[in-house]
Structure 1
Amino acid sequence: MEPQTLLLVDDNPNYRSAFRRNLEMEGYRVLEAENASEAMSELARSQPAVVITDLDMTHRTEGLDLIRECKRHYPLLPVILISAVGTFDEGALAQQFGASAVLSKSRIEEAAAHFCERLQGVVRQRRRVEEELARAEAAPAEESARAETRARLAALLSEPDLDAGCKGALYEAILSLETRPDGGVLGRSTQEIERRLAQDLPQFAQLTAETREMIVLADDLYFRGEREESVSISRNIGFSYTFAVECEIKHRINKKIVRLLADKAFGRLLDGMMDARTGGLDLFFNQYVIQATRQLGEDLNADIARQVLGKMRELRTRYKADGLKALGVIVFLFGRNYAFKTVRGEQKVANPLGLKGLSEEETLALADMLVRLQHLRNPYVHPEFTAREKAGKLRETALECLALILRLY
């Protein structure tokens, strides 16, 4: 059996060498990086099972920055923070950012066997999450089967040691198995809600009937939530706003996506973006995506691009763009003009989706907001916001998305 690969990140070469020897004696293959920048470059080249990082490197909290960057681009990748000087607050921040464990360097040296047990536990946990996510994706359409899958995912989600990245992925999978939300009886008249929406979104009347129905439901739930706290209301607010935006953008670009998938030239472009050997993004394209998404928020990332492109490449003309993350990636990668380097020279991408109506900056903003909107409905993503703040951000982002989508043609 091939040994598991770990990435060890520490600016002290003596410590790295000693720790590496100990890990290799336990049967691991160890890659090294001196800082966060080197670590991200190594992650683009290889696929380690776990990242182990120091806290204090070129600056006091570089390890925390690396955790955020790792979990942004590789949400399911376990990251363990080790430190000789970290405070309780820094440890709490590390776990909030997605660290699977926070350990003292001195305790690792004193109890190497315990560390390796913890390491294996983290690896097993990630494998279980990946297996359950794969099963959820292949779940039959029957409601009984979907309910069983939701229950299994919910049980895994409740495990106390699960990191934030895994929790976020599981929560998204649970939501994807749910049906359209039922808001019940509207708390206010439809006319009153529509008047308010028309003030905040002047193009409201241009939306499709289904989008208008869902955005009215979402707005009723949102303002009802100001008067009563309810988990189900909060959950349906997120579902309703995201469903409304997904309906509208699919109405605008679904035919373009179908034409794109049938284009043989697009198939060759897609193949060039992927690494057939690893199933991940091509090394050069991965570096382009990481660089290009740095100018955006923290939502659109290389791992999401890998997931979407992998599915598109596997299914080709049978691919269905379901979910705002998938639609955001498609707009980002195929709805604008850009170029990236390859081993054979420069590869130009000339808006193969054929989107019109938005500037380059607006297209990037729309792509990022589509992914962000799906993340905002997830309680394990963007923990810096309270539930109420998230609801407000959901409404604001949904209306901004719709304003841009209505200009597409």
Structure 2
Amino acid sequence: MTTTIGSTSVSPTARHIWTRGRGPLLVLVILLAAGITIAAIRSGDHHGSLDPRSADPYGSRAVAELLRDRGVSVDTVTTLDRATTAAGPDTTLLVAVPDLLTPRQQRSLRAAMTSSEGRTVLLGAGPASLDTLAPGVRAKSMAPVSPAAPRCSLPAARSAGTVDIGGVQYTTDSRDTEACYPVDSTPTLLRIGSTNAGDTVLLGSPDLLYNNRLAKQGNASLALQLLGSRPHLVWYLPSLGDASAAQDSGSSGFLDLIPSGWLWGTLQLLLAAVLAAAWRARRLGPLVTERLPVAIRASESTEGRARLYRKADARDRAATVLRAAARDRLAPLLGLPPTRAHAPEHLIAAVSARLPDTGADLPTLLFGPAPADDAALIRLADQLDALEREVRTS
């Protein structure tokens, strides 16, 4: 009769691997599919926030179309070279996010602003760009976007009336400045310079240019007057792909391109992962005696441990175990308490008193260094056995 023995392998099979991994794999597939779907949906008409070609709620296509209806040509550029080349006395240059510009780009843009004698509109300029693009102007704080009255003599603001504005609040000591739309007594719109010789307009927030806000309050009126004062409008959307950004000597590496919020978020996620691992980790308590499922002969256990010592080349550890076991067995034969079994002065003196004529080097035998090779370890074991036999028969 033939007996079939089942496999005892504990290695995971392909079926086990699939069963365990199909859940995370399914989640990954769903995320990838969702990302591709969202990208496909948005790729058609969406160009991004403040983009005059975008018809989504945060695009600015509506104000661009109104300006074209009034005879103003609108050109969208994404590089600094095209923006500075197009600047001139008959041009309004709108910079969507000035703080994205590198220091070198800001200096180039400032030079173009000074020489063009046209109008420059800076949307949400903060401390990162004000020192270069608007010297003498300081960013005080951030205010929520809400309806605000002009409270100034600027004709465009007085004609538009209340608009949705907020964001960066500006302060300046310059006299050639008109400050409008104060929030908590601090303006959120500044016009610096002369209309005839070229001026700069700072808007604390770009919200009044969004498609979803243009029809509210006097947003459309203010936007058309600020952006339509010249026959040509250059709408500059700074881009990280601009070659002039890569030429900036101040850029030191990949981490400089990552916003600080993402770095802090990653650090927080890492800390949360460490805390979760510490919370879910196995607690190592005191040792607990557990009955073995099968009885193992002492000889097998000894042989297995010896093989482990040999595999690890741990002659020092093996010699230590042999000497300690010999001392434990010799102590009761010599009438020594367990506390003195491993004290050289007590154990050696007791063995010498029992075996005055022994030729063994007791300090080296019982407390000596580790053997140099396997042969020396075997001799040590034989010598310990011989010493124990002499003590027993004496």
TM-score (norm 1): 0.18
TM-score, length of structure 2 as denominator length: 0.19
Query: Over alpha carbons, which structure has the higher Rg?
Result: 2
Between the two structures, name the one with larger relative contact order (CA 8 Å, sep ≥ 6): 2
